[in-house]
Structure 1
Amino acid sequence: MSFHGNPCWYELTTTQGKLDEAGAFYGRIFGWNVVDSGMEEFSYHLATIDRVPVAGLMNMPDDVSGMPPCWMIYFAVDDCDAFCRDATAKGASVHRPPSDIEGTGRFAILADPQGAAFGVLQPDMSQMSAEEIARAREGGGAFNQSRAGFGNWNELMSSDPEAAWDFYAPLLGWRKGDAMDMGEMGTYQLFRRDEADIGAMMGLADSPVPSWLAYFGVDGSVAAKVEEITAAGGAVLHGPIEVPGPAWVAVATDPQGAAFAVVGPEK
């Protein structure tokens, strides 16, 4: 089966020397169990809930140590190399060429024509158990809109949302969902894979550069989660506010400055 176009992984790159602190923060906020994956080349920590992998956490590489901490969203593709060829033909740049991760698959890191960074992963199906395949088929991987602590929404802030749509839609097989007029902020365009809305595209708003923003689901009150975030050393940039769904959302940064968002059913 194909998972092409589905959000499949969330990865935090944080300040060098702060990996354990970042893991402790997110463990407190989302209930993640964060452990060292045992990779020999560099420290890569895995976050799980009930033994289901949700996210990866790593130190900022030496060659980009001056970059601010950030979250990256990965999308599943059927053929990583072909995707990179097609994406560059449409104006993307490849920051990390296709590379293999033993037991996981083949991945690459790119930036869209407006500069927003994202990752793609070609899963190694031969390394997936029947349980993992069934879970992924049901939307039960790292992106799971029915469970707290998992990826719930994927939002692109772009300097040219229409051009961004023309880039991503044919490459990842997305279709447009509803569109909401946000006045001076432009249109908030939902996009879907199969019959499910999985994210949206909009103008830059308060973002200084084009970027993807990962939303993680929470149970209950978003306001209570905001209090947990600030008590743990994070900062709240926006919200809680009510959005169609209905749902409540808030945008925050972790203690090292990486932006993320939370979404839940109650204020």
Structure 2
Amino acid sequence: MPSIPLGAPIWSDSLTADLAGDTAFYEGLFGWTSENAGPDFGDYTTFSLPGAAPDAPPRPVMGIMPCPPGAVPSRIWNLHYRVADCDEAVGRARSLGAAVDAGPESVGGMLRFAMLRDPNGASFGLVEPLDPSTGFGVWGETGSIAWAEYHVDGAPADAMRFYVDLLGWEAVTPPWEDPANPTPYAALSPRGGDVEFGGCHAAEGFEKSMPPQWSVMVMVADADALCAKAVELGGTVAAEPMDVPGLRVAGVATPGGTVVGVHSPRAWV
């Protein structure tokens, strides 16, 4: 499994009102395999890509679980960040203005986690792995999550200050940003700034009517073909493919409405 630094994304999952339907959709769309943990673990289902070698174990990508009674199904994938001590991190998050929605609580001997909302209201999770196998088994390859993105109707640097203080992130303005932009993009990396895992941008267009939130991007070979396949499988295109610097990005939704972003290398002509 990849080495996951403290503060970096460690896992992503979502709630579903149709476990069987979403499982079939994701398997057909991304070529994942799935494993249901059974009723003792709420039928939590983990999706994986094949191992890096023929005899290697599957590499976990993300998970879904059925909605508990009275809960609302996710319309996005939750994103969780690695911490050394979940209870201590939750305490610090509260002091920085976050609200706690669930936890901290333990899941067997695998992890201790909590779900929170940052000062802008965006949901996120904190995970303290108790087992070394906890978390992503792959990141940044075709068919796996490769990016995390946050949008906010305001200055990205201001929105990210909470996470910088809580998780020790580096949040920097990239060199390609227009110096005249009053709300420049913030590129995000764990403490040390070696590898970017995501970014924050100022909301534009329809995003201005949406609350601040995290989203994830799955790397695919061809975003346009992936969107067509999603429709064939009963899903919808939530955001039509478009070009951004170096990438072709889009959003697709399961038949139940959960949205995930996808991106592929931009075809230069």
2:79 match: secondary structure: strand
1:218 is aligned to 2:220: yes
Which residue does the alignment assign to 1:234?
Answer: 235
Structure 1 CA distance for aligned equivalents of residues 68 and 12 of structure 2:
17
- Aligned partners of 2:14 and 2:74 also within 8 Å: no
Deviation at residue 40 of structure 1 after TM alignment: 0.7
Q: 2:163 aligned to 168, 171, 196, which one?
A: 168
Corresponding residue of 2:42: 42
Distance 2:122 2:179 in 1: 21
CA contact (8 A) 1:248 1:263 kept: yes
1:164-203 alignment, distance < 5 Å: 164-179=159-174, 180-181=177-178, 186-193=183-190, 194-203=193-202
- For 1:85 and 1:248, locate their aligned partners in 2 and report how far apart those are by CA, in whole Å: 39
For the 8 Å contact 1:74–1:121, the answer to whether it is kept is: yes
Shift of 1:115: 0.5
Contact 1:10-1:142 within 8 A present in 2 as well: no
TM-score (norm 2): 0.84
Q: What is the number of residues matched between the two proteins? A: 250
User: What corresponds to 1:71 in structure 2?
Assistant: 77
> What are the within-5 Å matches in structure 2 for residues 41-120 of structure 1?
41-50=41-50, 51-65=58-72, 68-120=74-126
Deviation for aligned residue 1:37: 1.3
Whole-angstrom distance in 2 between the partners of 1:93 and 1:5: 18
Separation in 2 of the partners of 1:100 and 1:143? 23
Q: Which residue is 2:262 aligned to?
A: 262
Looking at structure 2, the residues matched to 84 and 265 of structure 1 have their Cα atoms a distance apart, in angstroms, of: 37
**How far, CA to CA, are the matches of 1:250 and 1:159 in structure 2?**
20
Query: Secondary structure, in 3 states, of the residue corresponding to 2:77?
Result: strand
Residues 8 and 189 of structure 2 are in contact (CA less than 8 Å); yes or no, is this contact kept in structure 1? no
CA distance in 1, matches of 2:88, 2:237: 39
Please tell me the residue identity of whatever aligns with 1:250: A
Q: What are the within-5 Å matches in structure 2 for residues 4-19 of structure 1?
A: 4-15=6-17, 18-19=18-19
- Structure 2: which amino acid aligns with 1:261? G
Query: SS where residue 196 of structure 2 aligns?
Result: strand
Aligned counterpart in structure 1 of residue 148 of structure 2, from 144, 154, 158: 154
Deviations 1:215-234 (A, max 9, x none): 11112x21111111121122
- 5+ residue gaps, structure 1, are none
Greater strand share, 1 or 2? Answer: 1
Question: Contact 1:247–1:264 (CA<8 Å) still a contact in 2?
Answer: yes
Whole-Å separation in 2 of the counterparts to 1:183 and 1:27: 44
In structure 2, give the amino acid aligned to 1:256.
G
Deviation of the 1:183 alpha carbon: 9.5
Instruction: Rate the CA distance shift 1:22–1:185 in 2: closer, same or farther, 3 A.
Output: farther
Mapped contact 1:158–1:164 kept (Cα < 8 A): yes
Runs of 4+ off more than 6 Å: 182-185
What is the CA–CA distance in structure 2 between the aligned matches of 1:28 and 1:199, rounded to whole Å?
26
- Stretches of structure 2 lacking an aligned partner (at least 5 in a row): 51-57
- What is the CA RMSD across the aligned residues, in angstroms? 2.4
**CA separation of 1:98/1:112 partners in 2, compared to 1, >3 Å: closer, same or farther?**
same
Higher mean displacement: 36-45 or 94-103: 36-45
Q: SS state of the match for residue 197, structure 1?
A: coil
Aligned partners of 2:226, 2:187: CA distance in 1, in Å? Answer: 25
1-structure distance, mates of 2:185, 2:235: 27
Q: Give the Cα separation in 2 of the matches to 1:229 and 1:166.
A: 36
